[in-house]
Chains A and B, each alone.
Chain A
Amino acid sequence: MDIETVRRISEVARLHLTEDELKQLASEMDELLGHFKSVQDIKPPKSSHAAGTAGSSHYMHDLKNSMRDDTMVACDPKVTEAIRKEFTKSEGKHLTAPKSIK
């Protein structure tokens, strides 16, 4: 793995790495991935669930979402007022969020 690829991965990973760290990781990742490559040897038998779409199920059990219907609920006017106070500016019916990061 070349240094530029490792640098690109570090940018995607939001890690600010030194040149030495990048060099070391390039060699370590080569070694690790060289070993991990053996997963590509596992060929799912035709009867296998995995022979279909890649990674069709990586959860242990079938999960179902417990969703509720969207419903309007009344809000305590005190809470509404407290939220409004946090916003000093508004444009029409929209509130402008204060800047928190310079």
Chain B
Amino acid sequence: MAIKKPHAASVSAEENLHRKLDMIDKRDAEVKAFIEVYREEALKSAKEVDKRIKDGKAGPLAGLVVAVKNNIAVKGKRLTCASKMLENHHAVYNATVVEKLIAADAIIIGSVNLDEYACGVDGTYSALQRTRNPLDLERVPGGSSAGSGASVAAGMCDAALGSDTGGSVRCPAAFCNAYGLKPTYGAVSRYGLADLAMSLDQIGVISKDKTIMKRVFDAIRGPDPRDQTTQLAENVSKKAAEVKVIGVPKEFFEGVDKHIAAGVRKRIKELEKNYEVREVSIPTLRYTVPIYQLTMAAEFSSAMQKYDGLRYGFPADRNEDLYTSFAKARDASLGKEIKRRIMVGTYITMKEFKDAWYSHALKAREVMKEEFASVMKDVDVLAGPAMPTPPWKFGEEMTPLEMYAADMLTIAANLTGTPAIVEPLSSDFKDGAIQFYGRHFEDDVLFRI
């Protein structure tokens, strides 16, 4: 779909906000996308934005209503990460992306649910509430940005911010039949994002409208002195090229639901009318899950050490010695999946085991990056399915390995730092979504296909 010019707002900011709030009142009791609705603040800012529109001084997102995943800091509001540990923790500053949304005159409607600390594929690992897929309440919304996908799909906001460490923006976008963007690593500041894995995390956008998604991305991207990884972000727009050749890695279709694979093949066939399409091979794509799990677990276990029950919310028992009080507070307030990842990450980075595990994962990741760079010398973008299956029903039992495998098509973008976008194939969410990967800092190219 080619990008359209931003359309002029047909209703006032206040009217648009009221429509979204009405939808929340109507549906969020069953969908449970929101952790907190910032009703009063949103109404106040909508009135101010309308005044600026009238005065001809409004920003580029004037009147757009945006929800924010609750692992991104909004000053004075609860920053729970959907965990018991941080259930009553309040952010003391705004994340850079939040500052940028406000500066662009977007209206922040509230914080939305996620898998605890963004660890999960289907949204069922929140320690606070269960978000349902608004398109079919019996099915999962996808994770970890479950509330972002669900709030967009239910029409409770125009766009939502999520974070994507292994597919956490693109999975709920695909499961909720919306567009989802994981920008290049370093294209958007992560200042104010509670980290999961520092070398993989990136803030992205979900929307039902690709034009709106692009406008929000344009508003939040760019260098930030508070996040060193963004120092190259100023090169983004200068590098945007045209798409001529689309590469289709054969490994992207292995283990994918037949109906989804056929739908994606059909869409690629249609693209042949305008682009040269080539089959390519990236052999390390078969190893994405182990490389990712080892890298992510190592970084995650380190990131989680700061949650000790002293500095953050959950009260530690101060009558115990320091070690016991830390360990007990963590045990009482961290979920099962969190503990599993911390344990794996701690094990593979211990001095005596590191060489057999973590060092191998780093080497393998390097090989994958080189394979990607080599293939993408000759093709402008890669195409394949976004998720290997449609969203499953609640209650379907999955082993940790089966759950991790659901990310197999999205995580290569995080391991290689490349941008990726997902787009619905049809109006039926069960038909699945197509995904395009681009080159570093060529995020704009993904909007031109």
Contacts and interface: CB of A to CB of B under 8 A. Distances in A.
B367 interface: yes
A60 B359 contact: no
A31 interface: yes
Given A39-B361, A44-B367, A60-B229, A28 B340 contact: yes
B366 A50 contact: yes
B328 A44 contact: no
Contacts of A13: 301, 342-343, 346
Given A36-B293, A58-B199, A101-B322, A48 B366 contact: yes
A44 B363 contact: yes
Interface in A47-90: 48-50, 54-61, 63-66
Interface in B309-335: 310, 318-319, 322-324, 326-328, 330-331, 334
B357 interface: yes
Interface string B334-349: 1000011011101100
A33 B342 CA distance: 14
Interface string B353-371: 0011111111111110010
Nearest to B326: A14
Given A25-B340, A58-B295, A12 B363 contact: no
A54 B359 contact: yes
B185 interface: yes
Contacts of A40: 356, 360
Given A44-B367, A55-B362, A58-B366, A15 B185 contact: no
B339 A60 contact: no
Interface in A1-29: 6, 9-17, 21, 25, 28-29
Do most interface residues of chain B lie in helix, strand or loop, or is the interface mixed? Answer: helix
Nearest to A50: B366
Contact of A50 (B323, B326, B331, B363): B363
Interface centre among B232, B357, B367 (most CB of A within 10 A): B367
Interface residues of B, number: 58
A33 to B, nearest CB: 7
A30 to B, nearest CB: 11
B343 A36 contact: no
Interface string B186-205: 10000000000001000000
A42 B284 contact: yes
A28 B400 contact: yes
Contacts of A21: 339
Nearest to A47: B370
Interface residues of A, number: 44
A55 B416 CA distance: 14
Given A32-B400, A55-B362, A101-B310, A9 B367 contact: no
Nearest to B366: A50
A70 to B, nearest CB: 19
Interface centre among A29, A38, A44, A55 (most CB of B within 10 A): A55
B305 A14 contact: yes
Contact of A15 (B199, B287, B294, B342): B342
A102 interface: yes
Interface in B355-397: 355-367, 370
Contacts of A59: 199, 229
A82 to B, nearest CB: 20
Nearest to A64: B231
B217 to A, nearest CB: 18
A35 interface: yes
21 contacts: A13-B342, A17-B331, A25-B340, A32-B344, A32-B400, A35-B289, A40-B356, A42-B364, A42-B367, A44-B363, A49-B366, A54-B362, A54-B363, A55-B358, A57-B366, A59-B199, A60-B186, A60-B416, A60-B417, A65-B228, A102-B318
Given A58-B362, A63-B231, 6 more contacts: A15-B334, A17-B331, A39-B364, A54-B362, A55-B358, A64-B231
Top 3 nearest A-B pairs by Cβ distance?
A55-B362, A60-B417, A50-B366
